[in-house]
Structure 1
Amino acid sequence: MSLLNAVERACTRLAPFGWRDLLLLHGLDIASGTLREELARPLQINRTLPGFEDFSVSAMRGIEPGRPADSLLFHAFASPNVSTNIRGEALTEFPTAAEIEQVLNYVYGAVPPSLESFGDQQLAIAVFAYEYRPQPETVHRRQADLCFSRAGVARVGTATALYDPQRRGFLPFVEGQPSQMRVIPARYGAFIAAKHVGQPEQFGPMNAQPIDKDLEFWVPLHKLFDGDECLAGMDLRVQLENYQINEKIGQIHRRFRGTGWQEPDILNPPFVITQGLCHWADVDTFAPGLLVPDAKKTLVELAYYQGRPLSFMMPPNSGGLIHGRHRVHDDGSVEDLNELENVDAFVNAGGYRALHYQDAMADGWVRAHCPQLMLESIAAYSIIGAPDFFPLCGQRELKAWSSDPEVFPCPTPPCPEVWHTRVNPLCDVRFYINQSLAGHYFSPEDRGVTAIISHPQPSTTPHASPSVACAQRQSWLPDFASGVFGPGWEVGRGLVDAPFTNVLCGYQLASPFTEDARICAALGSYWPGVAPDSTRTFEPRSVSVTVIPLTDSETGQRGSPGWDGRSGPALIEVEGRSVVQYEAYEYSDYTRAALAGQLSLAMTGQTSTEQYHQRVLGMRRAYQAVGAGSDKEHRKLWPLLSFYQVDIPDDAFEAAQQQANYRLEGDVQYYGLYKRGVITTPTNNFKLRYVEIEQQVQLYMSQDALLIREDGGPWRKVDERL
């Protein structure tokens, strides 16, 4: 089937469902009997229509050969913001993933270029992860555009991927099953690319770094696909190959001595896993290039070697990055050390046999083969990362927002910190890739792999940027992944024999990933935008404060388990006084929770970027209201006991407004804080902690005003200017 035939078939299918009428408003008739000519003629684009506000201002045709962002049909099919018909009602049918790729191929193949037309540039066949994005998420933020990176980030899960045609992408939710999460794939494609030093106005990279003017980047020029319509005078066969590896367990036994395992055993599964990690999606449904992680029964699984559960000698001082809480006795019985008092000290001391658990995370590469082109093949870096518990919130956007002086003014540095640590997207990292990956396809000089770039821009003339919505889907590009390593969320930094080297390496992560998730979620969300902030779930500790508060439902305070299967703090009476009861952090075990299917992103994952911002700003205002606004140590004295969105009608909220003689407008949140006193362990349960209350403060907060009540006194409005 020719490229045009595939486009005609897609247009014929969609035309009766409102798509013909919608595109006729621009003068394009997708039901035309001469579609090739129809797509090539000039149009009068109506950029006031919803979804078309950010379509290229210089574009004027249904298909502009070689320029996807200037092609109206491709924009209409690929933009997640094109979702309503001419009456403003939701469209009921949308292009499939395969149809979008077929239109994209036609953009590149309508007038196929010759290889010679690319001039004397240094060319190669390079693989990129790519995505068509609304204007705010693009490299230059001038218009909707294709964005590319030589790094893609897929994500593990317990259910198969589900494509959402309206969003033109994927989300991890499983309807009616909150403890399940879908895998998130990543799309890769082969392109003729040229090597150039960074040129922010031409192709990027996004968020250009000072070093970029000296670094070389592969820049995509033309998509490669099968057939004789891709390059003039050539009949191509393009094949993508992928290799992924999870060697976290094996590297543990290289890093620590006396574990009981060494080569040649640690060269075999599950010490090193290269199979059962991912697969290519069905070509007819998704077109070539969609790499999909294999769904697992649980996020974490017991590791087996030679048909038996794999155990090892737990090394001392492992830094909490190895699960060692299931002790294996000589008779083969397994003891859950979470039932042992002072479990942290026991695990840190090591010296006992423990069970190994594995996850399905990995890193590796995707390469292209095209025998008809005598060009070097440049690999993309492939990451299969941990689940993103806030899939609608990106690291790049959070970095830009939290760096805005209008949001966080700082007239006199040093400025108060927004996060527990800095936020930095992986796309801003200029590390090279682990050279020990099979094939040795990455060099130390190749430091722009995770950067996000665009096609070279035909014009660099600035123009007014429209205000349009971001895509409401999980992105697989690295601005939605973390570039902060401690050790990391999706990927780690360093090598087993050089831990502080600026190199990206999957095996440097915790084994399994839930071990580090436990530590860093309780550090005020060490990785904002991907990890929940579970600080307030546990007793107050000296290492952190709440930064991005979870609601009472998300922490398990409303009768059902929280996102991590636990129950949050509770106000109880003990010997005639009120105390806050916590399940102690020491006895939390996210690996055990994952084995039981208790980790969930069903609630946290619904948080929009705007709601995420609101939570961060609201928590800062709450600290300000209790007199701890800019003093991090003072904040540690004021744990958050309760937080939720107020649903109207609410009798308690109405009574507070009446007493304060002030009405809050818009969305309202409730915050309950207390000044903590002595922390004790009840004699009848070493897994609990009681925290005395020295003072209680309740707050109702809207965007513009704040009501406060202290120790059960009257409600009053707070003057936040003071």
Structure 2
Amino acid sequence: MTDIETRALDVLRKRFAAGWAPVFARFGIAPDFNAPVAALRDSLLQPLAPFNRDDPLVSDLASDAHAALCANDPAKSIVYHVWAGAHPTHGLERPSLEELDLVENYLYVLGEHEPVPVPDGSLVPMVLAYAYRHRAATPHRLHADMVYSRVAITRVGTREARFSATEQSWESWAGDGFRVTRARVGLFLCRIVDGAAGNVSILDNVDGDAQRNFVLPVRKLFEGARIPGFASAIRSIRFRGYFLGDKLKRVIDVSGTSVPGTLDVTRAPFVNEARVEVPVGASGGDAYIELNAFEGACVVGPRPRAQLVSVAMQEEQIARFTVPPRDGPPSLLRGHGIDAGNLSFNRHYTSMQVPSGKTRLVLETAFAQLEHVFPGALYPLPKVRPRVAPEYVNIRHRVEPDGRITVLGNTLPAGEYEALLDAGGFEAAMFDDGVMDGAVWAVVDGVPTSAAFVLVTAPDFFPRADEEDLQAWSQTLPSRAALHQFKEGGPTPLSAGRFVPNLLLNDPWSGEPLFASTDNTVAALVSRAVPSAADGRLPPKGTAFRRRAGGFLADSASNEFAPGWDVSYDEQDGTYYYTTHGLGSPFPEDVKFCASANAYWPAAAPDAARTFERPGIPSAIPMLDDELGFHPDSPYGAPDAQPGWDGEFGPFFQMREGVAGVNSADIRRSDYVYNATQLTFASRVFDLSSEELIRRMEALRACIEAIPKAGSEMPALTQYWIVSATAVWNAEPRATHYTFQLCVPDNDHVQPVVSSTVSSAAAPGYWRLWRPVSKRIKAECQFERPDDLVPCVVRYASYDETIGAYGDWQEREIR
């Protein structure tokens, strides 16, 4: 204890001297650091006189927290609460994560001789992802508290990781690229409890949870800690990690296609593995993963990449495969317009699709068509088709015999382009995106513990918004139900999922499986049980938003998989498990289809449905014109106009031969992978909060309900296409007005066009589509106060083709 206590008190002494002393004095905390250690310890543990709990630093402190430090309980330790919470500190520097780890350890050292309630059954050492969160972000919503999960979310990027102590989160954006994000995982002694309310608080309760087993920490472990029932303290701890990324190999194995004989599909880049072992107080890793170990915790995540997506290489060769011919019904059954030819077993638009089974693919498609006919039974869609390989694979980069790469969408005219992709037979380049999944565990005195499941996945474009927030809002009123807003998918967070981690992950040191088929609550977020007396004091979900910055626990990812954005799923012996090997190859291939399907997976992601106008898929959360990018040919564009977040440009009204229509991006030509290599994809992160996304949803819903009906008054089923979306802020932090210009497109008469001002076929915005439109209308909604989430007034005007202008406004109040 002496060493941990000495070093922990040194942290307190240093921070108090650096400006924190007057802050804590407000709460009656004024330790004498010159006093003997025993006296100093007692002063930190003794109850304080009543203090002002309205102070922003302690406004969500546990009501029974009365001391600077509380043995065994960080949430009831005022010093820890102030330092670890995401409160404004007005320039005062917080302790580092390593220092917080030491303070946490000290709290458990202080209570190591106190009786620890040990339930029936053994206590299990486990590694968990954990974070200290404010009240509204906890499962019990009573006060700020530790929240735990067996799943951690980390994300790839091109810039070094940076932890924001002010917001207690990993920064997502470096100004010129995405930062890699990391996760904090710790070693805990845990008990296994069922999901009854008296045993554990669960953030997203799911039917059947009362009969499922959940992991709840009893105390933190570290070198020198004592485990109840053991005679000696822990002597040594080593953290280990193992990660696997085998998407490229699975493309070859499952699709049955071939690679040149000079390539070995059992080695990188077809199979990428990371194996890491680090003692406490050290850092280590390999080319893919970095692990920084403290004493009772570690930080894990990917290393920065030179590019988000790069051509996969094996020595001096491009990793490539022969594209199989299109497998589908004859052309006369393919339909018309933008979706012509899209009915196929191994194509999705101009991407190769790698279905895990034709029968399940047909069944899944049928469910999708019936989802809005029988929403009570089929929303959300049942998971019927696991993704044994990347669902979508980029095949638009042809490798020539001399090693050059031809981007087919930038070179071939309409007709020839689609015909070549249908015929296949050419070699397509494969891409490395750094996406993997794995596990982190500890070896305690030579004995391995249970592991945490760690995802290394795609960047988060909305780091300040969460699935959990949108899901909570969708449940506040029946009219806000997700199925009314989202034609595809919805905002269900991964923390509501009950699959198991990747069952194919084995400990490379022992060969033993790292996870079991019974680990079906790994994604759940848990914290201490709610006392029965407190049940009536719980605020309803959705009344306060949970956080202001990105997180690494499972509620910051999506539970929608088709295939997914953060994670997908596969099956072994009838058990569904989470894995990244079903995600697109590379991940921007998924992002394109996700974004174009009203941000299907996840909802808290850019919605580019209006960029492409896929038939029957309207926007759910409108993005603004400047976020999508003004095309050089558009009224607000310029010859040097820059594309939007995805390397594409938004739609705009355009007359052709006296016919009103809309010019838009072509989802068949659009290539987010090519855009990534040109550094135009993922060119920005959006500083949009959950509140802002909700305001946009409410604005769209109010306008669709007010204007003349076209298909449905629900955003999920309307026939209207949002061609323009703008906002007015009037120096307010949030928009006071949103204005939408909408129309009904004629998707059966789509024509390919090229830009009149963009001169290069390889430049963004050259290959486009144009289609006639009707029922053009403008709608504007107004918010009474800047903090309102629901507009108060909607007014609209129809477009008069004879005069070429909008008519008189009609107004409707929102109640």
Give the TM-score normalised by structure 1.
0.88
**Taking structure 1 as reference, are residues 301 and 646 closer, same or farther at Cα in structure 2, changes over 3 Å only?**
same
Cα offset for 1:52? 1.3
- Cα deviation per residue 1:428-487 (whole Å; 9 max; x = unaligned)? 111122222123121111211111111456776336457866322211100111111111
Amino acid in structure 2 at the alignment position of 1:145:
D
Matched residue, 2:626: 553
Q: Match for 1:387 among 446, 455, 459?
A: 459
Gaps of 5+ in 1: 85-89, 651-664
Q: Compare 155-164 and 28-37 and name the one that shifted more.
A: 28-37
For residues 30 and 347 of structure 1, the distance between their equivalents in structure 2, rounded to whole angstroms, comes to 73
Matched residue, 2:745: 676
Matched residue, 1:472: 548
Cα offset for 1:510? 1.2
The secondary structure found in structure 1 opposite 2:535 is coil
For residues 46 and 463 of structure 1, the distance between their equivalents in structure 2, rounded to whole angstroms, comes to 24
Cα offset for 1:389? 1.1
Matched residue, 2:222: 225
Cα offset for 1:383? 0.7
Q: Is the 8 A contact 2:321 2:427 kept in 1?
A: yes
Q: Match for 1:42 among 32, 37, 47?
A: 47
**Taking structure 1 as reference, are residues 245 and 102 closer, same or farther at Cα in structure 2, changes over 3 Å only?**
same
Matched residue, 1:194: 191
**Taking structure 1 as reference, are residues 717 and 49 closer, same or farther at Cα in structure 2, changes over 3 Å only?**
farther
Cα offset for 1:626? 2.6
Q: Is the 8 A contact 1:401 1:407 kept in 2?
A: no
Matched residue, 2:289: 278
Q: Is the 8 A contact 1:618 1:701 kept in 2?
A: yes
Q: Compare 509-518 and 96-105 and name the one that shifted more.
A: 96-105
For residues 39 and 96 of structure 1, the distance between their equivalents in structure 2, rounded to whole angstroms, comes to 21
Matched residue, 2:786: none
For residues 550 and 219 of structure 1, the distance between their equivalents in structure 2, rounded to whole angstroms, comes to 40
Matched residue, 1:364: 438
Map 1:130-209; keep pairs closer than 5 Å: 130-175=130-175, 177=176, 180-209=177-206
Matched residue, 2:25: 24
Q: Is the 8 A contact 2:723 2:741 kept in 1?
A: yes
Q: Compare 255-264 and 580-589 and name the one that shifted more.
A: 255-264
- Cα deviation per residue 1:565-617 (whole Å; 9 max; x = unaligned)? 1111123343345432112111000111112222236352x001100101111
Matched residue, 2:697: 616
For residues 771 and 716 of structure 2, the distance between their equivalents in structure 1, rounded to whole angstroms, comes to 17
Cα offset for 1:21? 1.7
Q: Is the 8 A contact 2:128 2:150 kept in 1?
A: yes
For residues 25 and 464 of structure 1, the distance between their equivalents in structure 2, rounded to whole angstroms, comes to 28
Matched residue, 1:688: 768
Q: Match for 2:302 among 293, 297, 302?
A: 293
Q: Compare 212-221 and 346-355 and name the one that shifted more.
A: 346-355
For residues 30 and 600 of structure 1, the distance between their equivalents in structure 2, rounded to whole angstroms, comes to 49
Map 1:32-431; keep pairs closer than 5 Å: 32-34=33-35, 35-43=40-48, 44-81=50-87, 83-84=88-89, 90-113=90-113, 118=118, 120-175=120-175, 177=176, 180-227=177-224, 233-260=232-259, 265-275=264-274, 276-281=287-292, 283=294, 288-316=297-325, 317=346, 318-319=352-353, 321-338=392-409, 339-340=411-412, 341-342=414-415, 343-371=417-445, 377-405=449-477, 408=480, 416-431=484-499
Matched residue, 1:494: 570
Amino acid in structure 2 at the alignment position of 1:132:
Y
Amino acid in structure 1 at the alignment position of 2:693:
Y
Cα offset for 1:345? 5.0
Q: Is the 8 A contact 1:156 1:386 kept in 2?
A: yes
Q: Is the 8 A contact 1:393 1:529 kept in 2?
A: no
Map 1:505-516; keep pairs closer than 5 Å: 505-516=579-590
The secondary structure found in structure 1 opposite 2:462 is coil
Q: Compare 16-25 and 249-258 and name the one that shifted more.
A: 16-25
For residues 716 and 684 of structure 2, the distance between their equivalents in structure 1, rounded to whole angstroms, comes to 33
Matched residue, 1:655: none
For residues 458 and 661 of structure 2, the distance between their equivalents in structure 1, rounded to whole angstroms, comes to 36
Gaps of 5+ in 2: 275-286, 326-345, 347-351, 354-390, 508-512, 631-636, 756-765, 783-790, 800-804
The secondary structure found in structure 1 opposite 2:100 is helix
Q: Does 1:708 align with 2:796?
A: yes
Amino acid in structure 2 at the alignment position of 1:321:
Y
Q: Compare 159-168 and 558-567 and name the one that shifted more.
A: 558-567
For residues 236 and 219 of structure 1, the distance between their equivalents in structure 2, rounded to whole angstroms, comes to 24
Matched residue, 1:698: 778
Q: Does 1:584 align with 2:589?
A: no
Q: Compare 122-131 and 579-588 and name the one that shifted more.
A: 579-588
| Percent of aligned positions that are identical | 26
**Taking structure 1 as reference, are residues 120 and 10 closer, same or farther at Cα in structure 2, changes over 3 Å only?**
same
Matched residue, 2:349: none
How many residue pairs are counted as aligned between the two chains? Answer: 687
Q: Match for 2:652 among 555, 570, 575?
A: 570
Amino acid in structure 2 at the alignment position of 1:216:
N
Q: Is the 8 A contact 1:393 1:608 kept in 2?
A: yes
The secondary structure found in structure 2 opposite 1:5 is helix
Matched residue, 1:662: none
For residues 683 and 191 of structure 2, the distance between their equivalents in structure 1, rounded to whole angstroms, comes to 40
For residues 56 and 479 of structure 2, the distance between their equivalents in structure 1, rounded to whole angstroms, comes to 29
Amino acid in structure 2 at the alignment position of 1:705:
V
> For the aligned residues, what is the CA RMSD?
3.0
Cα offset for 1:183? 0.9
Q: Does 1:435 align with 2:503?
A: yes
Cα offset for 1:684? 5.9
Cα offset for 1:560? 2.5
Cα offset for 1:529? 3.8
